[in-house]
Amino acid sequence: MLPSGGFGLTGLAERVGALGGRLHAGPRPEGGWEVVAVLPGGER
């Protein structure tokens, strides 16, 4: 397990980045909020 850099979105962004991924979090145009993490695929 990866060490946590903190809690909430900051910690989540750090963990996603450590795995080589990207994180987007913000309001949706139609209302509400979304968090999207894109992670690289592993070998099959």
Give residue-wise pLDDT tens across range 4-41.
Answer: 556 789 889 999 999 999 999 999 999 999 999 999 99
Measured CA to CA, the distance from residue 34 to residue 37 in angstroms comes to: 10
d(CA 42, CA 27): 30
Residue 25 lies in a domain: yes
Q: What is the pLDDT of residue 3?
A: 62
Residue 44, pLDDT above cutoff 70: no
Asked whether residue 43 is assigned to any structural domain, the reply reads: no
Confidence (pLDDT) at 7 = 76
Domain containing residue 23: 8-38
Helix spans in 1-44 (H): 8-18
Q: How many domains does the chain have?
A: 1
Q: Is residue 44 part of a domain?
A: no
| pTM recorded for the entire structure | 0.71
Largest CA distance in the chain: 38
Residue 34 inside a domain? The answer is yes
pLDDT for 2 equals 61
Nearest to 18 by CA among 3, 34, 36: 3
- At 19 the three-state DSSP class reads coil
